[in-house]
Amino acid sequence: MIQEFRQFLLRGNVVDLAVAVVIGVAFGAVVDSLVGNLLTPVISMIFGEPSLSSMTFRINDSVFGYGAFLDSVFSFVTVAAAVFFLVVKPVNMLIARSRTEPPADPTTKKCPECLSVVPLEARRCAHCTVVFSAA
């Protein structure tokens, strides 16, 4: 039983998941620092408030905190942009570079008469029986 548990822990997907969680927490701290230390001061310069969460309006006795909602939307957009530009775009570029391999030699061809797929070495189409030229 201990051997099975050890195999479970050392499987690639468990280790990969653990690494992803640790990297995700560290990346979240970086993005929080970006928002808190660089972007929030810009917001305070524009709106005159240190945080949008203090912006509210009242209707009768109800207080609507639209600033907290705007803070959440801003944080979400910032995190999404950071993930896109720092993770997704570089990974897509790496994948695109690795796909520049030359295409493999074809093993099939299309029949010029019925457009069915036939082996490259075939002398006659199995579907319409047209004879292929010896080219």
pLDDT, tens digit, for every residue of 11-31?
A: 767 777 777 888 888 888 887
Rounded Cα gap, residues 46 and 82, in angstroms: 22
Regarding predicted confidence, which is higher, 52 or 37?
37
pLDDT of residue 99 exceeding 80, the answer is: no
Nearest to 108 by CA among 98, 122, 97: 122
End-to-end CA distance of the chain: 65
* pLDDT mean over 130-134: 80
* pLDDT mean over 71-100: 80
Contacts of 44 (CB under 8 A, 6+ apart): 50, 51
Instruction: List the chain domain ranges.
Output: 2-98, 105-135
Rounded Cα gap, residues 110 and 50, in angstroms: 68
Mean pLDDT of the chain: 80
CATH number of 2-98: 1.10.1200.120
The answer to whether the beta carbons of residues 126 and 118 sit under 8 Å apart is: yes
Rounded Cα gap, residues 16 and 22, in angstroms: 10
* pLDDT mean over 48-61: 78
pLDDT of residue 135 exceeding 60, the answer is: no
User: What's residue 78's pLDDT?
Assistant: 78
* pLDDT mean over 70-78: 80
The strand pairing partners of 69, in sequence order, are none
Residue 109's φ and ψ, nearest 5 degrees, are: -140, 165
Report which DSSP code applies to 131. Answer: B
Regarding predicted confidence, which is higher, 133 or 99?
133
User: What's residue 49's pLDDT?
Assistant: 67
- pTM, two decimal places: 0.47
User: What's residue 50's pLDDT?
Assistant: 67
Regarding predicted confidence, which is higher, 111 or 41?
111
